[in-house]
Chain A
Amino acid sequence: MPLLRSARFFVSLSTLILQWGCDLPKDHLSDSTPGSVLESASQTYPIQIADYTNQVHLFLEAPSRIISLVPSATETLLSIDVENSLVGRTDFDDAPGISHLPSVGTGLNPDLEILLSLEPDLIIAFAGESDPSIMKHLRNAGTIPFMIRPDKLEDATGIIETLSLITDREHMGDSIIETINSSLEMVRKRVENQPKPRVAYILGGEPPWVTGPDTYLHQLIAVSGGQNIFEDLKHEYVPVSLEEFFIRKPDLILSTEHTYIPKTLQNSRTIKLSSSIEIPGPGLAEAILEIARAIHPKIFP
């Protein structure tokens, strides 16, 4: 059914455009630090906890009907063993434990009706970029979505901590965060006195979108002893002219296996990483090793 497929393509394209269109200016959001946002009042129920938008959520007990619209949060929930509490998934979640669940569509543009019909008591949503009317309807219907935004490493680990707190799996969350931090520390120590290759990370698109500063991808590159050639950009993710690549001369271009790299750049040294790199959840411990291997193959064979 070609019509169906092209309609799907259009929709995914529009989601992409939507992400890009709103990705550029978000200075109004960046002044809130994760430490101040993800603050818990107590360790036992009832738990009061603020989300990214400073909306305070009250949990009288562990939520039992959860829908996560953010892939990294979904992975976190799976890794802290609460998959039995998940009642829905997005089109992109295909982990074996949840592939049988009904899908609500895409994470940024979920179908409101299906979402509500699953009667969730916790919806985890991405702060920014989704249709505001959806969030408003969810509020009106009585389920205020818990907004998260894993921009930096600290945000990502903060979200793991929060989710494990909400679901009463604190010890599991702590051990995941510990694993991530110890990989970071290990990599950081081993690349300490090494030369710093010039690295660009391409997220896709044409002109290609690259990571600027204030993102976990930038941080992973820095920790792995690389230098992000776009660290001077003003925003987290920015489309840059191809000419910039010839001016800034990266030693290495990183991207995932599914990312399109413009033909002009195909002569540069490019390493394709597994696509899980772009999901800042419990997989970060692995991600840091993969990026470190790409940047310093001699130290991390």
Chain B
Amino acid sequence: MKPLVYGSLLVFCLLIAAGLSIWLGPVEFTSAQILEALKGGGSPENRYIIRDIRGPRTILAIHVGGGLALAGAVFQALLRNPLAEPYILGISGGAATGAVLVISFGVMASQSWALPLAAFVGSLLAICTVLAIATNRNRKVDMRVLLLAGVVTGAFFSACISLILTLSDAPNIRNAVVWMMGSLAGTEWSTAIVVCLYTLPCTIILIGLAKPLNLLAIGEDTANYLGVTVEQVKLTGYIVASLMTAAGVAATGIIGFVGLIIPHGIRLLVGNDYRVLLPLCFLAGGTFLTVADTVSRILISPVEIPVGVVTALFGVPAFLWLLRGHTRPGQL
């Protein structure tokens, strides 16, 4: 009962957030003008602003935010670490590096359907590196090393992005700040649709993993006894969550902390059952990024703040709070 209530509440919030994102912006519209433009009337400029600038941006924010939050929740389950998240693990950085690399060498345009795959290669490289460093001789992941390795890998990839962009003379590439702090400015329908095509199947697969993830949370050995093919679940989880992260990052750059604060917020509400947690994370993540993006463009309009700044302003205090709560003295 409770999950259904929260679910419908979040769907409602998501719709409100999407509505606000269409309604609010540097140019002010009345609700009548908005409705008229959505129906295909009004002046061509208004129609373009509402349908082709704000529309794709809102859709992209929902899917990237939802994807990052869901990926965060899955990484937390797989690694049994509350601080795991695509950004902190360096996975977003790897994805952005992959995307920047192929764009700057002119291999792919920024709206190409295959761009997320290039980003995916980068994200896999990042997660493999981080896991390889953090796995000790007994094939157990050392949680302290994991986070440090993730942060350092992320910093390394940021340096790579700066270097590639400095050396590149491709005229059609966004600047380093956009890649490293994230931005949804200038989203086109083609980009939004590509991201949806990657995000939605990934979402379904990851939500399908909810039951084994529940058992994994108890412990790998226990899960094994209870019939979970542990290695297979972990592999699927890592790959699909990385792909979903990569699709978002390829379109928006690195947006941090969505995968951290959303899953923890939802956990506080509904507990640790991943069958409930994962779908709610997607809805809440989409809502959160849509609101953050709206804030980023109206706060000091007409100048836009990178949306990663807004998510970090909320995310860092949340991270520190969790860090205090989960680590006993001497543990980290």
Contact = CB atoms under 8 A, between A and B. Distances in A.
Interface string A273-288: 0000000000000000
A103 interface: yes
Given A22-B175, A132-B174, A117 B186 contact: no
A132 B172 CA distance: 5
Interface string B281-314: 0000000000000000001111111100100000
A131 B174 contact: yes
A283 to B, nearest CB: 27
A12 B43 CA distance: 33
A151 B44 CA distance: 36
B107 interface: no
Interface in B22-60: 25-27, 43-46, 48-49, 52-54
Contact of A14 (B171, B175, B302): B175
**How large, as a class, is the contact surface on chain A?**
35 or more
| Majority SS at the chain A contact face | helix
A114 interface: yes
Given A10-B305, A111-B302, A117-B27, A17 B52 contact: no
Closest 5 CB pairs of A and B: A133-B186, A111-B302, A25-B169, A105-B302, A18-B175
A142 interface: yes
B185 interface: yes
Contacts of B178: 131
Contacts of A113: 25-27, 49, 53-54
A119 to B, nearest CB: 5
A175 to B, nearest CB: 35
B96 to A, nearest CB: 15
A157 B306 CA distance: 37
**Interface footprint category on B:** 35 or more
Interface of B: 25-27, 43-46, 48-49, 52-54, 110, 162, 165-169, 171-178, 185-188, 299-306, 309
Contacts of A213: none
Given A7-B299, A21-B165, A133 B309 contact: no
A136 B172 CA distance: 10
Nearest to A12: B303
Contacts of A103: 302
A14 B43 CA distance: 34
Contacts of A142: 44
Given A25-B168, A133-B187, A141-B45, A112 B177 contact: no
A247 interface: no
A6 B25 CA distance: 21
B185 A7 contact: no
A17 B175 CA distance: 8
Contacts of A11: 300, 303-305
Contact of A8 (B44, B52, B300): B300
Nearest to A129: B175
11 contacts: A8-B303, A10-B309, A17-B176, A21-B165, A27-B169, A109-B303, A116-B49, A131-B185, A132-B171, A137-B188, A141-B52
Interface string A43-75: 000000000000000000000000000000000
Contacts of A137: 52-53, 186, 188
Contacts of B53: 112-113, 116, 137
A128 interface: yes
A11 B302 CA distance: 11
B320 to A, nearest CB: 19
A114 B188 contact: no
